[in-house]
């Protein structure tokens, strides 16, 4: 157990080292940091002075160690464009992304599991069949097209919901939430549905497949033979046994939600970290790009580490294999 976790940890550290090296090299190879600090019309002396202040004349390895040290403290310097500390900007934007991901995850889980159970139990009914065909189409639709379609129907045509931005926020210290007002919920509903749809279909199909498989097992046949009610068989015996694989993929799905939040945030102009990254690329705002890179890598490394350890605890076969 300890060895397994140590091995995974070592791998995670290696990944972070590579990602940090990439984001460090961004500073050196993308644009001239001095130009970005002082503008075009600074004198030669000013430039040399700033070079020394920034330590750009030090050996590369010294610079990289310094970058790593700063990274550990979450310090990525000032944004070139907005001239504010990057960690501050990310913290400001983070609640928007996390709330969006959270609401989408709830929708995907709740609707996905419910429909999955339904289509698993009533697999011959026409409702199940149509749910499945719709979900097949849902998988091949690119996220941004779903977003545009929802905007056109609910914002442009019916005028029920706002098409962009985040409104009705209330502050709790640094955390701005939009989940406590009606306006906030109206704004989050379309992006959250857009983001959740793909994961929803995945969960639906997984739960359905697991339900079908469990229904074939001997213990369900035995439960039938004992004369238990359909309800007890479906929910007490079948459903419970389908949930283990579902729970383990939820972790990985959160990663997927964060990945697709970049697209959803751009479609709905949702002021989260993904939109910030896209805007940073447009303006070659290297500190924000570097920070986002490290942030995303860290998130994925953590999610994978947790999922691996969970697998290890849940499934004894992996323990024997190691």
Partner 1 sequence: MQQDRPMTRWERFKDNDIVWSFLHSPGAIVAATITLIAILACVFAPLIAPFDPFDPAQISLWDGKLPPAWIDGGQPQYLLGTDNQGRDMLSTILYGGRLSILVGLAAVCLGMVLGVTLGVISGYVGGVTDAVIMRIADVQLTIPGILLAILINGIGRAALPLELREEFAIYVVIIAIGLTDWPQFARVTRGATMVEANKEYVQAARIIGLPGWMIMLRHILPNTLRPVLVIATIGLALAIIAEATLSFLGQGIPPTTPSLGTLIRVGNEYLFSGLWWITFFPAIALVVLVFAVNLLGDWMRDALNPKLR
Q: Using CB under 8 A, list all residues that contact partner 1.
A: 11, 15, 22, 26, 29-31, 137, 140-145, 148, 151-152, 156, 163, 255-256, 258-260, 262-263, 266-267, 277-278, 281-282, 284, 286, 289, 293, 296, 300, 304
| Neighbouring residues of 79: CB distance < 8 A, sequence distance ≥ 6 | 85, 86, 89, 280, 285, 287, 288
| Residue nearer to partner 1 on the CB measure, 187 or 262 | 262
Tell me the sheet residues that pair with 110: none
| Neighbouring residues of 279: CB distance < 8 A, sequence distance ≥ 6 | 285
| Residue nearer to partner 1 on the CB measure, 181 or 304 | 304
Give the gyration radius of the chain's Cα atoms.
25
Minimum CB distance to partner 1, residue 101 (Å) = 13
Minimum CB distance to partner 1, residue 19 (Å) = 10
Minimum CB distance to partner 1, residue 139 (Å) = 8
| Residue nearer to partner 1 on the CB measure, 270 or 277 | 277
Nearest to 307 by CA among 245, 257, 261: 245
Whole-angstrom distance, CA of residue 107 vs CA of residue 23:
34
| Residue nearer to partner 1 on the CB measure, 200 or 223 | 200
| Residue nearer to partner 1 on the CB measure, 169 or 194 | 194
Minimum CB distance to partner 1, residue 92 (Å) = 21
Name the CA dihedral angle for 29, 34, 37, 43, rounded to a multiple of 10 degrees: -150
Nearest to 54 by CA among 43, 73, 72, 70: 70
| Residue nearer to partner 1 on the CB measure, 238 or 286 | 286
Minimum CB distance to partner 1, residue 321 (Å) = 16
Minimum CB distance to partner 1, residue 131 (Å) = 18
What are the phi and psi torsion angles at 282 (to 5°)? -60, -35
The rounded Cα 132 to chain-centroid distance in angstroms is 25
Positive or negative CA dihedral for 221, 213, 243, 106?
A: negative
Whole-angstrom distance, CA of residue 248 vs CA of residue 232:
25
| Residue nearer to partner 1 on the CB measure, 137 or 182 | 137
Minimum CB distance to partner 1, residue 141 (Å) = 6
What are the phi and psi torsion angles at 226 (to 5°)? -75, -10
Q: Which helix (H) or strand (E) holds 6?
A: helix 2-29
């Amino acid at each position: 157990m300890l060895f397994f976790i140590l091995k995974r940890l070592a791998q995670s550290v290696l990944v972070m080292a590579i990602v940090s090296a990439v984001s460090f090299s961004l500073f050196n190879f993308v644009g001239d940091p001095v130009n970005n600090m002082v503008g075009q019309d600074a004198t030669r002396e000013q430039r040399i002075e700033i070079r020394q202040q920034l330590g750009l004349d030090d050996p590369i390895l010294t610079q990289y160690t310094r970058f790593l040290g700063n990274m550990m403290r979450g310090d990525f310097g000032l944004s070139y464009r907005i001239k504010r500390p990057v960690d501050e900007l990310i913290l400001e934007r983070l609640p928007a992304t996390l709330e969006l991901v959270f609401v989408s995850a709830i929708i995907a889980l709740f609707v996905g599991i419910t429909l999955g159970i339904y289509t698993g139990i009533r697999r011959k009914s026409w409702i199940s069949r149509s749910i499945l065909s719709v979900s097949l189409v849902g998988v091949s639709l690119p996220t941004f097209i779903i977003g545009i379609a929802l905007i056109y129907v609910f914002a442009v045509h019916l005028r029920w919901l706002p098409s962009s931005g985040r409104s009705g926020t209330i502050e709790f210290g640094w955390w701005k939430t939009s989940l406590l007002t009606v306006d906030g919920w109206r704004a989050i509903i379309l992006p959250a549905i857009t983001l959740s749809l793909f994961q929803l279909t995945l969960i639906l199909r997984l739960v359905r497949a697991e339900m079908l498989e469990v229904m074939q097992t001997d213990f369900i046949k035995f439960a039938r033979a004992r004369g238990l009610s359909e309800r007890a068989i479906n929910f007490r015996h079948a459903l419970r046994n389908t949930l283990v694989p579902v729970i383990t993929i939820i972790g990985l799905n959160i990663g997927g939600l964060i990945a697709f939040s970049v697209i959803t945030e751009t479609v709905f102009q949702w002021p989260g970290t993904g939109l910030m990254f896209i805007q940073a690329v447009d303006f070659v705002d290297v500190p924000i790009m570097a920070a986002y890179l490290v942030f995303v890598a860290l998130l994925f490394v953590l999610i994978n580490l947790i999922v691996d350890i969970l697998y290890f605890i849940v499934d004894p076969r992996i323990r024997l294999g190691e």
